[in-house]
Structure 1
Amino acid sequence: MVGMDPKQRTIVDLAAVRAGRVPRPRDARTPKPEPRLLRQVYGEVLRDERRDQDRSLDDVARAVGMSKQYLSEVERGRKEPSSEILRSVCAALDLPMEQLLARGIRRMTAHRTLRAAPGRGIELCAA
């Protein structure tokens, strides 16, 4: 359950407060985490789809015509695949490109939180 602390004008997780798990306030000097890159999000989607189909890296890499090392790097978000490579991997997984894009958008927006804005009520912002 979520409530609002009127003194600090912030959103509070009431269940966490009751359980004694109150998060520490973020220090202004603490850097915010870097936003995830698109290649990381797409890599996660492709890896999850491959695993859901119980297929190995080697199996999908052979179907695409690339090395399994390169496919592994794409799935881990370390390589920036071209649109042609993404299309080929999606085809090997029988995953429409539209689904890859839609799942990527959902993952990128899943970590959004509410916060109180002075004088404006509550606004949605990225975590």
Structure 2
Amino acid sequence: MADIVPFPRTPRSDRPQPHGPEPLWRHLLGDQLRRRRHDRDETLTATAEKAGLSPQYLSEVERGLKEPSSEMIAAIAGALDTSLIELTSAVAEELRTTTTVPRGAFALAA
């Protein structure tokens, strides 16, 4: 049998994070959806009804608590009279302008 060798861990607070943690896609997506809904002066209920989902689910998506499927994102985008490409491009641009991650760095979240 092989021996188990413990991997030394550095406490998170001691790790240098010069650029801070990278934001999660679902948070940026939720912010973008809420902004677009507010720009249209629509309620959660009105937008959710157009998208064919519950207001509670839309609220959770906007708050970054749910990881919606591509079908759900497309339905919400359609309810907001935008395209999936416009929405994802806006989220990607926000990520590009608010995050400075060194080339080759990766951020994973569960």
Aligned pairs for 1:60-79 (under 5 A) are: 60-79=47-66
Partners of 1:84 and 1:31 in 2: CA distance: 38
The aligned residue for residue 78 of structure 2 is: 91
Which has a greater percent of helix? Answer: 2
Between the aligned partners of 2:92 and 2:73, the Cα distance in structure 1 is 16
SS of the residue aligned with 1:91? helix
Matched, 1:53 2:40: yes
- Tell me whether 49-58 or 30-39 shows the greater mean CA deviation: 30-39
Runs of 5+ consecutive residues of structure 2 not aligned to the other structure: 1-12, 104-110
**Deviations, residues 55-112 of structure 1 (Å, cap 9, x unaligned):** 0101001111211111000011110000000010000100111111110111101124
Q: TM-score, normalised by structure 2?
A: 0.72
From the two aligned structures, give the one with the greater strand fraction: 1
Q: Larger Cα Rg: Structure 1 or Structure 2?
A: 1
Distance 1:39 1:108 in 2: 11
> Once superposed, which parts of structure 1, at least 4 consecutive aligned residues long, lie more than 6 Å away?
none
Cα shift at 1:41:
1.1
Correspondence for 2:25 among 16, 20, 38: 38
Structure 1 residue 34 displacement after superposition: 2.5
Greater CA deviation, 30-39 or 73-82?
A: 30-39
Q: CA RMSD in A?
A: 2.1
- Return the offset for 1:31: 5.5
- Unmatched runs of 5 consecutive residues or more in structure 1: 1-27, 114-123
Q: Does 1:81 align with 2:68?
A: yes
Which structure carries more relative contact order (alpha carbon 8 Å, separation 6+)?
Answer: 2
CA distance in 1: counterparts of 2:52 and 2:99, whole angstroms: 37
TM-score using structure 1 length: 0.63
Q: CA deviation at 1:29?
A: 2.8
Provide the C-alpha distance between the structure 1 equivalents of 2:61 and 2:70, rounded to a whole number of angstroms.
Answer: 12
